[in-house]
Amino acid sequence: MKKIVFVVFLGIAIVYLFKIIKIVWSDYSRLTEYGIGYLSGSIVIFLLFSVLALLMFNKYLKKE
């Protein structure tokens, strides 16, 4: 069960990482203040799911 949760959290983090890279790579010069808010929110969500995935990975390793 913990492995499934880890994979889900990691998948969501990767999706948000690609969104962040896409925004920074192609649209950064055209960002409005709403776009900057969306970018910063995406960064926060990416960090949140990355930390959750890391915590689940550590618990998964300690269990074995």
Are the C-beta atoms of 42 and 9 separated by less than 8 Å? Answer: no
pTM reported for the whole predicted model: 0.81
Q: For the chain, which residues make up each domain, given as ranges?
A: 2-63
Instruction: Name the helix (H) or strand (E) containing 25.
Output: helix 2-26
Helix count and strand count (H, E) for the chain: 2, 0
d(CA 20, CA 32): 15
User: What are the pLDDT digits (tens) for 20-54?
Assistant: 999 999 988 888 889 899 999 999 999 999 998 88
Q: Tokens 């969306």 — which residue?
A: 38
Q: Which pLDDT belongs to residue 64?
A: 56
Question: Is 90 exceeded by the pLDDT of residue 60?
Answer: no
